[in-house]
């Protein structure tokens, strides 16, 4: 790909690792949404 | 921090590849930044066009131009295009252009993912536009009438255009999550050696906080609209009372995303101001560390105040009190940012080039919007204001000054860096005045309309509201037209003009001013030397 900087392999690994780490937050937030909200709404509405 | 000594592909000292390939396959943060900005500008005009129709319809009581269904469809479309199509991509464009330059990195950490983040956007925009026009085809179902909040049960009854919209939002969400991950990784891993986190410009910090907010709340919106989709097509009843579900659940999920979203929209712009203020006040920024703290505090508090949008749905007293107190608490860190910005100007040798004009206007008018926000945060008061034009006035006073003007200010501030040309100051100042004055003519009267009882999201109104609506609409037409001037200034600057120096503004500080204007296709391939304080 034209002009993509060739980062050192070590840096590239480090970047991918951190990216995957952040992606974990994304997945966590998405899958906990349903049960978490059900419970919290029940609390807030007293229902 | 890793020393990113970049061994470059052998095609020594090349410019960009030519033609369409340069853009389609781009992994270059500057080119991708430019694409984001151009995309955002196109969306600004699309969203603006629907706003013009809305204000034309509201010019007089009665139905003149559009029927209520189409009105609601336009209104939904306007909000979503402006938020997801214009403001967020423009802020991402600034991030792409400026963050690597500001932190001394050769590019974003994950350049190919950067390409993907951008190129998802046109597809998402297409879906969004289709959600608007599909109902006009035979068998296309009903138009979207929910507004950008997509509340069920209404959103469960809309035809297939809602499915297009849900798909569009998923794509937009994926794009912003990928962009956020890239920004986070870039800021943590790609700084020039010796550049400590606490030394980073506030713009970079603002984007770091924004990126974390996005990563935390976009997946929740994605979950919410997926549940909508399931309720619509797969027989679930997350939000259907008859099936044991709860429509209010959706409101909680939506606003858990929606309130942080408003901070996502303003934080990058507030970060831009921190670059502009010292330059034109000729003084260092006041309270660098406390600004970082305030932004983190805003983000943290912003995640636990969502139900101030739902005071009227019948929550328990304890819940309502909690949300009211927390919401009002946010004005402390917001006030601190405003205070620091004013202290930066205090006794400075100020000049008022266009970016600075915008900055001063933002400080005045964003604060005003913040004040109406505190009014709305007070539960008994909000019982009256809720779903009225007062809310519309509030959020336009925070969103235009807070988000859009900050982006304009940033564009004028960095345009000389990007294009190598100075923009036409006289024209830009004309744009500023027409824009800001007509903005106030448009939205200031809406406060009174709301207080007098005019509801929002409605195509027709009682004749007692006529005068102020006429004023508002006339203001809106000038406001809309002013953007043509903006477009003209940009095109003119790209095509030529006075040469900009590397340090385009005499007093500007920051690594972005150490590279040429315009910068070479690749910058900081050898990282800059950081002066240690
Ligand atoms: C101190 C700051 C703020 C406070 C206390 C505040 C408070 C509120 C409250 C209570 C509402 C709900 C009103 C109602 O529906 O009855 C509201 C609506 C809204 N606010 Fe704010 N706000 C603040 C700042 C902001 C900022 C900075 C933004 C955006 C950049 C913003 C954007 C909005 C939007 C878009 C809505 C309407 C959402 C909708 O119903 O469609 N607000 N605000
Ligand atoms: Cu809110």
- pLDDT value at residue A4: 67
- pLDDT value at residue A5: 75
Torsion sign over Cα A9, A10, A14, A15:
negative
Q: Give the nearest partner residue to A46 out of B185, B248, B316, using CB atoms.
A: B316
B residues 310-329 near A, CB within 8 Å? 314-316, 319
If asked whether residues B134 and B207 sit together in one domain, one would say no
Which atom of ligand 1 is nearest the CA belonging to B371? 1
- pLDDT value at residue B161: 96
Q: Which domain holds residue A24?
A: 10-47
Residues B276-303 have a mean pLDDT of 97
Question: Is the confidence at residue B530, as pLDDT, over 90?
Answer: no
Report in angstroms the alpha-carbon separations of B155 from A26, B251, B262, B414. 25, 12, 22, 42
The answer to whether residue A3 is domain-embedded is no
If asked whether residues B506 and B380 sit together in one domain, one would say yes
Ligand 1 near B308 CB (within 6 A): yes
Residue B237: pLDDT band with limits 50, 70, 90: confident
The answer to whether residue A39 is domain-embedded is yes
- For chain B, report the end-to-end CA distance as a whole number of angstroms: 18
If asked whether residues B32 and B68 sit together in one domain, one would say yes
Residues of chain A neighbouring B113 (CB-CB closer than 8 A)? 19
- Rounded to the nearest 10 degrees, what angle do helices B111-133 and B88-103 cross at? 170
| Main-chain dihedrals φ then ψ at residue B7, nearest 5 degrees | -75, 120
The answer to whether residue B20 is domain-embedded is no
Q: Give the mutation target among B313, B332, B394, B405 for probing the ligand 1 site: most ligand atoms within 8 A of CB.
A: B394
- pLDDT value at residue B495: 96
Residues A13-25 have a mean pLDDT of 96
Cis bond leading into B94, ω under 30°? no
If asked whether residues B451 and B407 sit together in one domain, one would say yes
User: B421 - beta bridge partners?
Assistant: B499
Residue A46: pLDDT band with limits 50, 70, 90: low
Question: Is the confidence at residue B2, as pLDDT, over 90?
Answer: no
The answer to whether residue B11 is domain-embedded is no
Ligand 1 near B334 CB (within 6 A): yes
The answer to whether residue A2 is domain-embedded is no
If asked whether residues B71 and B125 sit together in one domain, one would say yes
What is the total count of domains within chain B? 3
The answer to whether residue A25 is domain-embedded is yes
> Please, which residues have CB within 8 angstroms of residue B502's CB and are 6 or more apart in sequence?
B513, B514, B515, B516, B517
Question: Is the confidence at residue B12, as pLDDT, over 50?
Answer: no
Q: Give the nearest partner residue to A6 out of B7, B217, B521, using CB atoms.
A: B7
Residue B1: pLDDT band with limits 50, 70, 90: very low
Minimum distance, in Å, between the CA of residue A13 and any CA atom of chain B:
11
Question: Is the confidence at residue B253, as pLDDT, over 80?
Answer: yes
- pLDDT value at residue B3: 45
Residues of chain B neighbouring A21 (CB-CB closer than 8 A)? none
- pLDDT value at residue A44: 59
Ligand nearest to the CA of B391: 1
The answer to whether residue A27 is domain-embedded is yes
Residue B342's nearest CA partner among B369, B368, B360 is: B360
Residue B392's nearest CA partner among B51, B158, B97 is: B51
Q: Which residue puts its alpha carbon closest to atom 6 of ligand 1?
A: B373
Residue B478's nearest CA partner among B520, B435, B428, B508 is: B435
**pTM exceeds 0.90, yes or no:** yes
The answer to whether residue A38 is domain-embedded is yes
User: B388 - beta bridge partners?
Assistant: B455
Residue B285: pLDDT band with limits 50, 70, 90: very high
The answer to whether residue A5 is domain-embedded is no
Residue B35 tokens read as 């694409």
Burial code of B30-47, b = ≥16 C-beta within 10 A, e = fewer?
Answer: bbbbbbbbebbbbbbebb
Residues of chain B neighbouring A24 (CB-CB closer than 8 A)? none
Residues of chain A neighbouring B227 (CB-CB closer than 8 A)? 34
Burial code of B132-154, b = ≥16 C-beta within 10 A, e = fewer?
Answer: bebbeeeeeeebbbbbbbbbbeb
If asked whether residues B342 and B469 sit together in one domain, one would say no
Residue B120 tokens read as 């998802």
- pLDDT value at residue B531: 75
Is the Cβ of B24 closer than 8 Å to some Cβ of chain A?
no
What is the total count of domains within chain A? 1
Minimum distance, in Å, between the CA of residue A25 and any CA atom of chain B:
7
- pLDDT value at residue A43: 58
Residues B503-512 have a mean pLDDT of 94
- pLDDT value at residue B245: 86
Residues B260-264 have a mean pLDDT of 97
B residues 466-525 near A, CB within 8 Å? 521-522, 525
Which atom of ligand 1 is nearest the CA belonging to B312? 16
Question: Is the confidence at residue B533, as pLDDT, over 70?
Answer: no
- pLDDT value at residue A39: 63
- pLDDT value at residue B19: 84
If asked whether residues B339 and B422 sit together in one domain, one would say no
Report in angstroms the alpha-carbon separations of B99 from B80, B91, B312. 26, 11, 42
> Please, which residues have CB within 8 angstroms of residue B152's CB and are 6 or more apart in sequence?
B228, B231, B239, B240, B247, B250
In 10 A of CB A20, how many CB atoms?
11
Q: How many CA atoms does the CB half-sphere of B344 hold within 13 Å?
A: 26
- Rounded to the nearest 10 degrees, what angle do helices B389-399 and B425-451 cross at? 160
Report in angstroms the alpha-carbon separations of B176 from A19, A36, B88, B208, B236. 14, 24, 8, 13, 28
Residues B266-285 have a mean pLDDT of 97
Minimum distance, in Å, between the CA of residue B206 and any CA atom of chain A:
18
Question: Is the confidence at residue B136, as pLDDT, over 80?
Answer: yes
Mean per-residue pLDDT over chain B, rounded: 94
Question: Is the confidence at residue B118, as pLDDT, over 50?
Answer: yes
Is the Cβ of B532 closer than 8 Å to some Cβ of chain A?
no
- pLDDT value at residue B301: 97
Question: Is the confidence at residue A1, as pLDDT, over 70?
Answer: no
The answer to whether residue B293 is domain-embedded is yes
If asked whether residues B91 and B158 sit together in one domain, one would say yes
Ligand 1 near B150 CB (within 6 A): no
* ipTM given for this complex: 0.89
If asked whether residues B104 and B188 sit together in one domain, one would say yes
- pLDDT value at residue B100: 97
Interface contact flag, A22 B180, Cβ < 8 Å: yes
Report in angstroms the alpha-carbon separations of B457 from B60, B79, B387, B392, B471. 15, 11, 8, 9, 18
The 3-state DSSP class for residue B108 equals coil
Higher-pLDDT residue of B246, B101:
B101
Residue A32: pLDDT band with limits 50, 70, 90: confident
Question: Is the confidence at residue A45, as pLDDT, over 90?
Answer: no
**Contact present, B451 and B381 (Cβ < 8 Å):** no
| pLDDT tens column, B451-506 | 999 999 999 999 999 999 999 999 999 999 999 999 999 999 999 999 999 999 99
Domain boundary among B348, B376, B399: B348
Residue B423: pLDDT band with limits 50, 70, 90: very high
Domain boundary among B200, B215, B241: B200
Rg (alpha carbons) of chain B, rounded to whole number? 23
**Contact present, B118 and B35 (Cβ < 8 Å):** yes
Residue B7: pLDDT band with limits 50, 70, 90: very low
Question: Is the confidence at residue B10, as pLDDT, over 50?
Answer: no
Minimum distance, in Å, between the CA of residue B113 and any CA atom of chain A:
11
Interface contact flag, A38 B185, Cβ < 8 Å: no
Question: Is the confidence at residue B282, as pLDDT, over 50?
Answer: yes
Q: State the Cα–Cα distance between residues B226 and B450, nearest whole angstrom.
A: 34
A24 to chain B: nearest residue by CA? B215
Ligand 1 near B104 CB (within 6 A): no
- pLDDT value at residue B244: 84
| pLDDT tens column, B173-211 | 999 999 999 999 999 999 999 999 999 999 999 999 999
Based on the number of CB atoms within 10 Å of its own CB, is B359 exposed (0-12), middle (13-18) or buried (19 or more)?
buried
The answer to whether residue A19 is domain-embedded is yes
**Contact present, B59 and B139 (Cβ < 8 Å):** no
- Sequence length of chain B is 533
Q: Which domain holds residue B384?
A: 362-520
Domain boundary among B200, B235, B259: B200
The answer to whether residue B355 is domain-embedded is no
Is the Cβ of B300 closer than 8 Å to some Cβ of chain A?
no
Is the Cβ of B249 closer than 8 Å to some Cβ of chain A?
yes
Q: What angle do CA B202, B207, B210 make, to 5 degrees?
A: 125
Q: State the Cα–Cα distance between residues B117 and B220, nearest whole angstrom.
A: 19
Interface contact flag, B315 A45, Cβ < 8 Å: yes
Residues B389-394 have a mean pLDDT of 98
Q: State the Cα–Cα distance between residues B154 and B162, nearest whole angstrom.
A: 10
Question: Is the confidence at residue B37, as pLDDT, over 70?
Answer: yes
pLDDT > 70: percent of chain B: 97
């Amino acid at each position: 790909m034209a002009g993509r900087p060739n980062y050192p392999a070590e840096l590239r690994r480090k970047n991918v690792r951190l990216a995957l780490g952040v992606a974990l937050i994304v997945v966590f937030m998405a899958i906990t949404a349903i049960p978490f909200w059900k419970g919290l709404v029940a609390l807030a509405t007293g229902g | 921090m890793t020393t990113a000594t970049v061994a470059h592909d052998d095609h020594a000292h090349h410019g960009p590849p030519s033609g369409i390939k340069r853009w389609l396959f781009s992994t270059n943060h500057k080119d991708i930044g430019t694409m984001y900005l151009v995309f955002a500008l196109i969306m600004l005009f699309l969203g603006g066009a629907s706003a013009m129709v809305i204000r034309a319809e509201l010019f007089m009581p009665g139905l003149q131009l559009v029927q209520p269904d189409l009105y609601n469809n336009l209104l939904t479309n306007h909000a979503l295009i402006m938020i997801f199509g214009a403001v967020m991509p423009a802020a991402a464009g600034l991030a792409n252009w400026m963050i690597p330059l500001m932190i001394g990195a050769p590019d974003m950490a994950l350049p190919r993912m950067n390409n993907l983040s951008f190129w998802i956007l046109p597809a998402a925009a297409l879906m969004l536009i289709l959600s608007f026009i599909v109902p006009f085809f035979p068998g296309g179902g009903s138009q979207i009438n929910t507004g950008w909040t997509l509340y069920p049960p209404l959103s469960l009854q809309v035809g297939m255009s809602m499915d297009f919209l849900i798909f569009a939002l998923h794509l937009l969400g994926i794009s912003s999550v990928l962009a956020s991950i890239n920004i986070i990784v870039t800021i943590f891993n790609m700084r020039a050696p010796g550049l400590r986190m606490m030394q980073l410009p506030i713009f970079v910090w603002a984007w770091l906080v924004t990126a974390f907010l996005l990563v935390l709340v976009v997946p929740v919106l994605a979950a919410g609209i997926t549940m909508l989709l399931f309720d619509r097509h797969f027989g679930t009843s997350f939000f259907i009372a008859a099936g044991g579900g709860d429509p209010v659940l959706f409101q909680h999920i939506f606003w858990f995303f929606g309130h942080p979203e408003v901070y996502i929209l303003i934080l990058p712009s507030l970060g831009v101001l921190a670059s502009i203020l010292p330059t034109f006040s000729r003084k260092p920024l006041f309270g660098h560390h406390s600004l970082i703290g305030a932004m983190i505090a805003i983000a943290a508090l912003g995640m636990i105040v969502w139900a101030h949008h739902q005071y009227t749905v019948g929550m328990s007293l304890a819940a309502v009190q909690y949300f009211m107190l927390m919401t009002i608490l946010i004005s402390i860190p917001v006030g601190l940012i405003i205070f620091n910005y004013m202290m930066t100007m205090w006794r400075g040798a100020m000049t008022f080039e266009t970016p600075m004009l915008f900055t001063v206007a933002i400080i005045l008018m964003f604060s005003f919007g913040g004040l109406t926000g505190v009014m709305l945060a007070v539960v008994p008061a909000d019982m009256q204001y809720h779903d009225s034009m007062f809310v519309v006035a509030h959020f336009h006073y925070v969103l235009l000054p807070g988000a859009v003007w900050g982006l304009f200010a940033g564009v004028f501030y960095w345009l000389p860096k990007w294009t190598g040309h100075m923009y036409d100051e006289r024209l830009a100042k004309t744009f500023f005045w027409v824009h800001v004055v007509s903005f106030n003519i448009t939205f200031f009267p809406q406060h009174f309309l709301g207080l007098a009882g005019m509801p929002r999201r409605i195509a027709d109104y009682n004749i007692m509201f006529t005068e102020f609506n006429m004023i508002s609409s006339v203001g809106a037409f000038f406001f809309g037209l002013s953007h043509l001037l903006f477009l003209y200034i940009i095109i003119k600057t790209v095509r030529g003009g006075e040469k900009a120096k590397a340090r385009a503004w005499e007093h500007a500080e920051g690594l972005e001013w150490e590279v040429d204007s315009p910068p070479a296709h690749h910058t900081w391939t050898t990282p800059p030397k950081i002066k240690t304080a």
